[in-house]
Amino acid sequence: MKSKTHVSAENGRQDLRITRTFDLPVESLFRAYVEPALLEQWMGTRVLKLENRPHGGWQIETRDAQGNVVFRANGVIHAFVPNRKITRTFEMEDSPFAVQLEFLEFESLTEATSRLDIHIVFRSVDYRDQLLQMPFAYGINMAHNRLQEVAGALQ
């Protein structure tokens, strides 16, 4: 499958952009972000709290097969405009990484296609680069999942 997700992270900047076009109407794309049952499916994580309004809070967590929490993150929603934008903070719990600010902009391209533009601002250039250099620290369970995939493919 051709990849439709683009990440741009310019040298020496403390932000990055993730853009993606979807074969979905913008309403459908936005729903995937606001309905916990849907968000859980595509993010592969449990939603503990999701208050879709300005000053609302959110919290997600991932557990391993033994039920141990391997990843938990939370934040506050600052702006919420249906089918247009979500501005929120994101912080991984029990990690050395500082809170980050995320601007999510949803745009309708045609009746059946849409685009999502995510702009993430980090506390410093170093924080951003460290996160990018160590993707396994970002959602610390990723390396495990990857290994399970590899192991699964070998069976």
Partner 1 sequence: MDLRRDVYQAIADPTRRAILVLVAAQALSAGAIASNFDTARPTVSRHLKILTECGLLTQEQTGREVYYHLNPQKIREIADFIEPFRKMWDDRFNRLEAIMKAQQAT
- Distance CA(79)–CA(81), nearest Å, equals 7
Least Cβ distance, residue 153 to partner 1 (angstroms): 13
Residue type, 14: Q
Q: Binding of partner 1 at residue 98 (CB under 8 A)?
A: no
Q: Please enumerate in sequence order all residues whose Cβ is within 8 A of that of 76, keeping only pairs 6 or more positions apart, or say none.
A: 55, 56, 57, 58, 88, 89
User: Between 75 and 139, whose beta carbon lies closer to partner 1?
Assistant: 139
Q: Binding of partner 1 at residue 23 (CB under 8 A)?
A: yes
Q: Are 25 and 43 in contact (CB under 8 A)?
A: no
DSSP, collapsed to helix, strand or coil, labels residue 141 as coil
Residues 29-48 that bind partner 1 (CB under 8 A): 29, 31-32, 38, 41-44
Could you list the residues that contact partner 1 (CB under 8 A)? 1, 3-7, 9, 18, 20, 22-24, 28-29, 31-32, 38, 41-44, 96, 116, 130-140, 142-144, 146-147, 150
